[in-house]
Structure 1
Amino acid sequence: MKFQPDKSDTLTVTGYGPGWLAVDKQTYSHSLVVSSNGSLQPWDCARFEDLGPALFAQLAEADVETIIFGSGNRLRFPSPAWLAPLIAKRIGFETMDTPAACRTYNVLAGEGRKVLLAALVEAPAL
């Protein structure tokens, strides 16, 4: 039996590591917002401490069912108050470290779900 790799029509995270993330084999060294609808844009935060309510309000504008938040090199949770715009629009929200968030995004996007990955890409610790 010959196996064929699954071909996804959505953007896929193809690699990640300390200080970088690859989407469809293109490497980025900054935080990203990746959507299963095909949009990819920089996310204006280099550290967890740069996050704030305005960044999460921007995410609430996306036409998605679920947002997967990659909190960087380790698991950290945003302030619950920042999630109010997402709650108001009934958008699901999950927090994971960035590697786990990338894997979860790929699974959900591959299933055809309307999902968005907001991935914090932090510089590697020295």
Structure 2
Amino acid sequence: MQLSLNRPGEYLFVRKVDAAAITVVDRELRRSFVLAPDRAIEDWPVGAVGELDEATVAPILELTPAVVILGSGPRLVFPSQQVLAAFLKRGIGLEVMDNAAAARTFNVLVSEGRRVVAAFILPPA
């Protein structure tokens, strides 16, 4: 049996997740970042869910997603009610998951052509 790599070329996807890094296509990222199908916003200044506020979610909202997947790190941690409300009042769905689940969900939704953005929180180095 011959195996071949099926690599979509038209959008970004998560290849690997571990506790300290996430690999997007072939680039390993070790700092929190925001991922859309067509771009990554690196060095997103969030080291923990508790640091989320209007200023830190602004880059996500500027991408005008239909749904946002928040990778809260290695464990599931929900943001404050104020952060949840920022998405709700704009009609944007927000799903909170650990990073591994967020990566899997992002990959599925982006492969379906959905307007999805994922924000991954990685611990500071």
Q: Give SS of 1:34's match.
A: strand
Structure 2, unmatched stretches of 5+, are none
Q: Secondary structure at the match of 2:41?
A: strand
**Identity %, equivalent residues:** 32
Matched, 1:99 2:95: no
Please tell me whether the aligned partners of residues 73 and 122 of structure 1 are also in contact (alpha carbons under 8 angstroms): no
State the secondary structure of the residue aligned to 1:78.
Answer: coil
> Partners of 2:2 and 2:88 in 1: how far apart?
45
| Normalised TM-score (structure 2) | 0.86
- Is the contact made by 1:72 and 1:122 (CA closer than 8 Å) also made in structure 2? yes
Q: Equivalents in 2 of 1:47, 1:17: separation in Å?
A: 16
The list of structure 1 runs, each at least 4 consecutive aligned residues, that deviate by more than 6 angstroms after superposition, is 1-4
> Structure 1, unaligned stretches of length 5 or more?
none
Aligned length in residues: 123
SS across alignment from 2:87: helix
Cα-Cα RMSD: 2.0
Deviation at 1:16, TM superposition (A): 1.1
**Aligned CA distance change for structure 1 residues 14 and 24 (closer, same or farther; 3 Å):** same
- 1:43-80 per-position Cα deviation (integer Å, ceiling 9, x unaligned): 11123333223212432222211000000110000012
